[in-house]
Structure formats: C-alpha cells, structure tokens
C-alpha cells in the first residue's frame, strides 16, 4: 500500500478541528500516511463576512494564537507546527483543558470565550515549553506582520476543478487533490475504525466530481465559537 500525503489545515481554537486532527493521527497508526500540519485563521478567513461585534472580538483574539504557529514554522521548521498543535490543543481541548473546564462549569457563552481567550498568554507559554520551542515565539501574538504568512498558508489549499472557496477547519487535502472541509466527527475514532473512516474519506477526497455530503442529526455537538 503506497503512502498518502495529508495536508491538514487547522485553527487551534476549533474543537471540531481538534477531534479530526486526533483521528488523523490514529489513522497514521493503521494506514501509511504522511501528515503536514498547516495553520488557518478563522479570523482571517472570515474578515469580510458579516458577524456580530461579540463574535468578531472572539475570533480576533484567536488570530494571535495562529500567528504563533506561523512564527514557529519560520523559526524552527514544519515539524514544530504539529508538535505545538498537540501541546496547545491538549491545553485547550483535552479532558482537563481550558475550554472543557469552562463547558463543565457552564461557561460556554461568547462572553465567556472572550474572557478565556484574553487570558491565553500563560496557556500558550506552557504549550511552547511542552513542545520544546523558544519562549519568545509568544511575541508573535501581537505582530500583524505574521498575517501574510497565514494567508499564504490558506492559499496552499488546492481548489480542484470546481474552484470551491474556503469554508473553515478542518480542511484536508489528500495527495494534492482539492481540499475538503471535514470530516467533522463527534468523537475520535481509533484503531481499524479510524482506518476504515479514512478509507471512505479518501475515496471522496480524491474524486474530482465530489462536492459535499451532510448528515441529518439531532445529537448534541461540541460548542464552537
């Protein structure tokens, strides 16, 4: 079985992207895949979109976190991005992560999320330390010059023949084919279950005529911004 190349775009604050990212790592245990982690900023992606002032404040606070990933890539290399995503994502979304604790305490409103994101400096600093990365990378949070590098990461998403516009995270490209938004999943598949989901997703992701599939559901879902 030949190795597949997976380009995976994420915004570290998105819980959906986090679940899918942990799934793709599980895929790597049972299928031959090479994963390239690429940053995407929901704030930049939605700059021209209409949204409430409260929502815009939240996504703008998240922009600074993505800048740190762009700076880490420049300073240390591509491998640093995946490692930092794991350490920071664990602090955000893990069992005792920042956002998980807030949900458990009933603090899931946009105002609550804004307050959490305003206090992220120590969380990001801890994640940089966990990943063995330079502490001074945190300064990138306040440096707008990194936004061009993030936009360049967005531009790497292949559009394919249908020229779809970017939707959000997670976005995945398989072997250079058009980027797909998703899969959006509610739990992390492991073992052969992860592999089988990958096998199915890969068929759609490499089919040039495929556009979209959605599922009707009334299940509870993780809260997002």
Q: Which residues of 51-74 are buried (b: 16+ CB within 10 A; e: fewer)?
A: eeeebebbbbbbbbbbbbbbbbbe
d(CA 205, CA 172): 8
Domain parsing of the chain, residue ranges: 4-205
Q: How far is CA 182 from the centre of its chain?
A: 10
For residue 181, whether the previous peptide bond is cis, meaning omega lies within 30 degrees of 0, is no
Burial string for 103-136 (b: 16+ CB within 10 Å, else e) reads eeeeeeeeebbbebbeebeebbeebbeebebeee
Tokens 């979304």 sit at which residue? Answer: 93
Per-residue pLDDT of the chain (225 residues; tens, 9 = 90+): 689 999 999 999 888 999 999 999 999 999 999 999 999 999 999 888 888 888 788 788 889 999 999 999 999 999 999 999 999 999 988 876 666 666 666 666 777 777 777 778 999 999 999 999 999 999 999 999 999 999 999 999 998 776 677 889 999 999 999 999 999 998 999 999 999 999 999 999 999 888 888 887 665 655 544
The pLDDT score that the predictor gives to residue 48 is 86
Report helix angle 53-76 to 121-130, nearest 10.
30
CB atoms within 10 A of CB 77: 9
Q: Which CATH class is domain 4-205?
A: alpha beta
């Amino acid at each position: 079985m030949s190795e597949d190349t997976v380009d995976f775009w994420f915004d570290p604050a998105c819980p959906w992207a986090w679940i899918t990212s942990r799934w793709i790592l599980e895929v790597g245990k049972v299928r031959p895949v090479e994963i390239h982690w690429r940053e995407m900023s929901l704030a930049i992606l939605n700059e021209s979109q209409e949204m409430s002032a409260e929502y815009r404040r939240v996504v703008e606070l998240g922009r600074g976190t993505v800048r740190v990933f762009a700076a880490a890539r420049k300073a240390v290399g591509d491998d640093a991005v995946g490692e930092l995503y794991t350490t920071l994502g664990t602090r955000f979304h893990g069992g005792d992560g920042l956002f998980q604790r807030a949900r458990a305490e009933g603090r899931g409103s946009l105002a609550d999320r804004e307050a959490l994101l305003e206090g992220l400096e120590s969380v990001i600093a801890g994640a940089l330390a966990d990943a063995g990365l330079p502490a001074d990378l945190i300064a990138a949070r306040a440096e707008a010059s990194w936004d061009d590098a993030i936009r360049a990461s967005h531009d790497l998403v292949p559009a394919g023949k249908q020229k779809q516009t970017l939707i959000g995270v997670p976005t995945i490209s398989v072997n250079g084919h058009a980027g797909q938004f998703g899969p959006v999943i509610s739990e992390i598949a492991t073992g052969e279950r992860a592999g089988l989901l990958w096998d199915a997703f890969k068929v759609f992701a490499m089919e040039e005529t495929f556009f979209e599939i959605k599922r009707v559901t009334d299940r509870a879902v993780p809260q997002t911004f």
